[in-house]
Structure 1
Amino acid sequence: MLGGPRLTLSHGRGYLQDTWEKAYQDHRRKVQEARPVVDSRAPLTLSHLRLKLGKLKLEEGRLAVIDRDNRLLLEKLSRILRPGGQTRSGGTCAHRSGN
């Protein structure tokens, strides 16, 4: 469609015809040089959405509880395994009947 429809005027043909022809050629050139404008990149993610500080804080608290429980278990085991260590503070255990 490079030729396209042409507007012809019976009077004043020269200047207006040249102006319209130039405008049409400029338009055709711009259409040919047009590039796609669709942005196919991934959307930007904000750092506070990626970092998730609340989740890290909960994880830190959970790990602190696990460390504390592990320390308590280790202390109990070391108390039991000490030479002559007893599991109960005080005297001997009284055996109870299951009946």
Structure 2
Amino acid sequence: MALQHRAYQPLFPTGNKYLQQKWDKASYDLHKQKVKSATPTISKTPPKSYGHLAVKLKKLKLEEERKMKIKRENNMLMEKISHIMRTTGGVDNKNSYDVKSLGKKKRQLELLRITNENQMILFRLSQCRPHYNVRSWHEDWLKTLRVMDSIARYPRGQEKPSKKSNDAATHSLVTNNSNNKPESAENESS
């Protein structure tokens, strides 16, 4: 071991290799100790937990109130069911409230007045005699039918002739009328 300092090669030139090795070893041991005792610059520990965030008292209070309300409603239902079981079990759904209206009397009087007026109008209409004579209308219609028959080309009871015979009849009527005009003009002049 005594000769180890001879095998040691310092980094920088030195006067005594033995002393340089001892100093380097001491600084290296110090460095190792510092590395072991070094603390991290970034914290790896979990964040600090606060009790009021973990417990959530408001939520617990609301939940407890909800459970109390449910329990109270269940008790009321149980009382109603036990009352129904003890008694006949009839349902009390009678409403003793009388409906009151401020304008009811006025509306009834108005309806009565309108009904009376309508009855009077109906009575007057039933007593009124008609101004029109249906028999004279019928006679006028029959007269109109006779006039229509007299001026019609074809009488009402018969069917119209076919198109070919219709064209021939029209042609013969036109020629007869053209022949009759001069004669009628001569008869009128004489």
The TM tier, using the shorter chain, reads 0.5 to 0.7
Q: How do residues 80-91 of structure 1 correspond to structure 2 at under 5 angstroms?
A: 80-88=84-92
Q: CA deviation at 1:30?
A: 2.2
| Segment of structure 1 superposing worse, 42-51 or 73-82 | 42-51
Whole-Å separation in 2 of the counterparts to 1:4 and 1:42: 47
Q: CA deviation at 1:25?
A: 3.9
Q: Which residue of 2 aligns with 1:6?
A: 10
Q: CA deviation at 1:55?
A: 1.1
Q: In the superposition, relative to structure 1, how do residues 64 and 43 fare at CA in structure 2: closer, same or farther (>3 Å)?
A: same
Aligned length, in residue pairs:
84
Question: Among 28, 33, 38, which residue is 1:30 paired with?
Answer: 33
Residue pair 1:79, 1:86 contacting (<8 A) in 2 also:
no
Q: Which residue of 1 aligns with 2:53?
A: 49
More helix by share: 2
Whole-Å separation in 2 of the counterparts to 1:4 and 1:67: 88
| Identity within the alignment, % | 32
Letter of the structure 2 residue corresponding to residue 72 of structure 1: M
Whole-Å separation in 2 of the counterparts to 1:5 and 1:48: 64
Matched, 1:70 2:101: no
Q: Secondary structure at the match of 2:77?
A: helix
Whole-Å separation in 1 of the counterparts to 2:64 and 2:51: 20
Q: Structure with the greater relative contact order (CA < 8 A, sep ≥ 6): 1 or 2?
A: 1
Q: Secondary structure at the match of 2:49?
A: coil
Whole-Å separation in 2 of the counterparts to 1:5 and 1:58: 78
Q: In the superposition, relative to structure 1, how do residues 67 and 4 fare at CA in structure 2: closer, same or farther (>3 Å)?
A: farther
Letter of the structure 1 residue corresponding to residue 36 of structure 2: A
Alignment RMSD (CA, Å): 4.0
Q: In the superposition, relative to structure 1, how do residues 51 and 25 fare at CA in structure 2: closer, same or farther (>3 Å)?
A: closer
Whole-Å separation in 2 of the counterparts to 1:36 and 1:10: 31
Q: CA deviation at 1:35?
A: 7.0
Matched, 1:61 2:28: no
Q: Where do 5+ consecutive residues of structure 1 fail to align?
A: 91-99
Question: TM-score w.r.t. structure 1 length?
Answer: 0.54
Q: CA deviation at 1:60?
A: 0.6
Question: TM-score w.r.t. structure 2 length?
Answer: 0.32
Whole-Å separation in 2 of the counterparts to 1:79 and 1:4: 105
